[in-house]
Amino acid sequence: MDDDTALKLTLDERRREAMYNGLRWFDLKRLNKDPRFKKDLSREIEGETFTLPAGDNRYVLAFPRNILFFNEHITPNPR
């Protein structure tokens, strides 16, 4: 087995094992930086399709306003 196949199997198993505990979001965010694992998310809700492309700024959470208010050295994440 080569390295890429082993890595894909490991990531697939992690996706199944880490279901419903919040780690998938961070894995997607981290893996979207590697061209081999980029993945666009797409969901259809009530006939309307919503898409989150790999590397989109919506993967980044905004800092709470009170944190930005008390520390002027923090710059807000791009949205």
25-73 per-position pLDDT tens digit:
888 888 888 888 898 999 999 999 999 999 888 888 888 989 989 998 9
| 53 and 70 part of one domain | yes
CA–CA–CA angle 66, 71, 76 (5° rounding) = 75
Token reading at 42: 């797409």
Q: What is the pTM of this model?
A: 0.65
| 30 and 7 part of one domain | yes
| 46 and 60 part of one domain | yes
User: How far, in Å, CA of 22 to CA of 64, rounded?
Assistant: 20
Domain that holds residue 9: 1-39
- pLDDT given for residue 42 in this prediction: 95
Total of domains in the chain: 2
| 29 and 48 part of one domain | no
- pLDDT given for residue 28 in this prediction: 85
Q: Residue ranges of the alpha helices (H) in 1-79?
A: 3-17, 23-31, 65-70
Q: Are 24 and 31 in contact (CB under 8 A)?
A: no
| 59 and 34 part of one domain | no
